[in-house]
Amino acid sequence: MAGRIEDYALIGDCETAALVEGYFSCKSLGQLPVRGMPKPVEVFQVLGTGKVRSRLEASAARGVTRFVGRSAETAQLHQCLERVCCNSRSTAPHS
Please report, for residues 5, 26, 31, 36, 52, the alpha-carbon distance to residue 8 in angstroms, rounded to integers and kept in the order given: 5, 15, 11, 15, 27
Number of domains comprising the chain:
1
Residue 77 lies in a domain: no
Residue 94 lies in a domain: no
User: Which among 19, 21, 15 is positioned nearest to 61, based on CA atoms?
Assistant: 21
In this predicted model, what pLDDT tens digit does every residue of 30-70 receive, in sequence order?
A: 888 877 778 888 888 888 988 888 877 877 777 777 767 88
pLDDT at 13: 47
Three-state secondary-structure class, residue 42: strand
Residue 46 lies in a domain: yes
pLDDT at 93: 63
CA atoms within 13 A on the CB side of 13: 17
Residue 87 lies in a domain: no
Residue 54, domain extent: 2-64
Residue 8 lies in a domain: yes
Residue 44 lies in a domain: yes
Residue 38 lies in a domain: yes
- Residue 74 CB contacts under 8 Å (≥ 6 apart), including other chains: 67
Residue 23 lies in a domain: yes
